[in-house]
Structure 1
Amino acid sequence: MKFDLHNHHYRCGHAEGNIEDYIKSAIDRGLSYIGIADHSPYFYSEEDRLHPGVAMAKSEFPNYVNEVLELKKKYEGKIHVLLGVESDYFPEHEELYRNVYNQYPFDYVIGSVHHVNGKNIFERGRWDGLNEQERIAEKERYYQLIQKSAKSGLFQVLGHIDAMKGFYPEFTRIETPIIENTLKVIAEAGVAIEVNTSGKTKDCGGWYPSHEILERAFHYGVDITFGSDAHVPERIGDEFELVQQTLKAIGYNEMVYYVEKERKIVTF
């Protein structure tokens, strides 16, 4: 069975197509489940749309949810459409986000850390001028936030847990035990991590997370799910079979997905 839990559409400001385009693409590619999980608004901001090219407006959020629910009904019998959201994680606004999400019937929420020390993790040049200790501190702060997100109870899935390497491939070579500690925390919290194949579209190439992290995740018993993180309909389910083959070689024989926040298992 094929599924894809991480996809976007025009509302976020940096993806192409509408939600139905992604659903039709999923059907064409033989998926059984398609999860729509666009970027959450910046709920803490007084502005309706704080960053137009990054995430949808607060006023659009109910429309987003309603559209997914309508399409879920429309395509019943053809494909299972799941309501998700990719949520930023800000510890200081944790309860605000929790209160918003509790108002809607999400099948799952993906927690993604996109901001570290006030800067977007994909910001080119954010590493310029940092010495070795400062780079270690940045990486450790990133994973400290991921650990907090895992323990928050807000999320079923943690998104692209080494995406900070996206436009800075050297990130992987910054040595610190923080990743090992983070995987232990994730396993204890019982949340899943995704294999996200969109890393191939960035400077780092490959997937999020790295093969090495996936091997350590298996060691600690961390659940694995799949998301293409598609921003164009053509990338739906991208490399799903290869991901399964890779996971099987590591030792995994199952992946998980979520319906009404209930963990479901796909064996392979």
Structure 2
Amino acid sequence: MKFDLHTHHTRCGHAEGSIEDYIVAGINAGLDVIGISDHSPYFGSEDDHPNPGITMARSWLPSYVDEVLTLKKKYEGRIEVLLGMESDYFPEHAEAYRTAYELYPFDYLIGSVHFSGGKSIFNRNRWEGLSDVVQAEQKREYYELIRQSALCGMFQILGHIDAMKGYYPAFSDISASESIDLTLQAIAGSQSAIEINTSGKTKTVGGWYPSEAILERALHYGVKVSFGSDSHVPARVGDDWEEVRSTLRAIGFKEWFFYRQKQPVSVPL
């Protein structure tokens, strides 16, 4: 069974194509299951749309859910469409996000840390002039946020857990193995999964998230794995799915998971 749980569309302001475009692309890619998971609104503000070009507006969320559910019925029998969302994780706003999500029948939520230390993890300039000590502190802070996101109980999937390397490949070489292990242990205990996210190939780092070294540690701790292309254009739906499956099997994984009604569905590798 072939699935992709991480796709975006025009509502977030930095992706191309409609939801239906991604569903059709999924059918053409031979998917059995596609998850629609656009960027959540920002619930840390009362403003309707404080971050245009990054997230959808708060007022667009009901229409997003309605459109996904309508398309789920339209394509029934051809492909299973799941209602998801990629959610930011801000500890200080976690309850506001949780309250907003309780109103809707999500199949799964992807919890992604996009901001750490007040800056985007993709900020190309955040590393300039930093000592090795400060770089290690920033990496530990990033993984602490991911650890907290696992423990909060809101998410079925943890998104791109080493994406901070996207525009700074040296991130992987910064010493913080204890923080990564503590985070993986928390994820394993939470019963959520980490995604193998193939969008890193579109960034400077040129590879998947997370690294094979982290996946080997994840297997050691019993962490579940899932798959998401993180497509921002329909042509990337299902990108590298077979290659990821082969890599996971070589590492030693036996299964991976998608989520329906927030329950894990095991798919043999």
Do the structures match in fold with TM over 0.5? Answer: yes
Identity of aligned residues (%): 61
Alpha-carbon distance between aligned partners in 1 of 2:140 and 2:28, rounded to the nearest angstrom: 41
State the AA in 2 paired with 1:3. Answer: F
Q: Does 1:39 align with 2:39?
A: yes
Deviating more after overlay: 101-110 vs 171-180: 171-180
User: Could you say which residue in structure 2 is the equivalent of 1:150?
Assistant: 150
Indicate the SS of the match to 2:196. Answer: strand
Task: Report the equivalent of 1:58.
Answer: 58
TM-score, length basis structure 2: 0.98
Alignment gaps of 5+ in structure 1: none
Query: What stretches of structure 1 move > 4 A for 4+ residues in a row?
Result: none
Residue deviations 1:132-176, cap 9 Å, x none? 111111100000000000000000000000000001111000001
Q: What does the per-residue CA deviation read over 1:50-75, in whole Å, with 9 as the maximum and x for residues that have no partner?
A: 11111111111111111001000111
Q: Does 1:228 align with 2:207?
A: no
Residue 30 of structure 1 deviates from its aligned partner by: 0.8
- String of CA shifts for 1:83-102, please: whole Å, max 9, x gaps: 00000001111111111101
- Residue 30 of structure 2 aligns to a residue in which SS? coil
Q: Distance in 1 between matches of 2:127 and 2:41?
A: 27
Aligned residue runs from structure 1 range 103-142, under 5 A: 103-142=103-142
Q: TM-score scaled by structure 1?
A: 0.99
Partner of 1:203: 204
Q: Secondary structure at the match of 2:265?
A: strand
Following TM superposition, by how much is the alpha carbon of 1:46 offset from its aligned partner in structure 2, in angstroms? 2.5
Letter of the 2:159 counterpart: G
Amino acid at match of 2:204: D
The residue aligned with 2:179 is 178
Query: What is the aligned length?
Result: 268
Distance 1:251 1:124 in 2: 34
| Alignment-mate amino acid for residue 91 of structure 2 | P
Task: Give the Å deviation of 1:235.
Answer: 0.3
- 1:184 offset after TM fit, Å? 1.1
CA shift, 1:48, in A, is: 1.3
- Give the residue type in structure 1 aligned to 2:230: D
In 2, Cα distance between equivalents of 1:254 and 1:22 = 25
Distance in 2 between residues matched to 1:229 and 1:214, nearest whole Å: 18
One-letter code aligned to 1:81: V
Residue 182 (structure 1) shift: 1.1
CA distance in 1 between counterparts of 2:28 and 2:204 reads 29
Question: Residue 100 of structure 1 aligns with which residue?
Answer: 100
CA RMSD, aligned part only? 0.7
Give, in angstroms, the shift of residue 44 of structure 1.
1.6
Structure 1 distance, partners of 2:128, 2:56, is 30
Q: Secondary structure at the match of 2:155?
A: coil
- Aligned partner letter, 1:126: R
> 3-state DSSP class of the match of 2:126?
coil
1 CA distance for matches of 2:115 and 2:162? 13
Amino acid at match of 1:52: P
CA distance in 2, matches of 1:112, 1:60: 20
The aligned runs of 1:149-168 (5 Å cut-off) are 149-168=149-168
Of residues 26-35 and 47-56 in structure 1, the stretch that sits farther from structure 2 once superposed is: 47-56
Is the aligned partner of 1:262 residue 2:263?
yes
SS of 2:218's equivalent in the other structure is helix
Whole-angstrom CA distance in 1 between matches of 2:61 and 2:129:
39
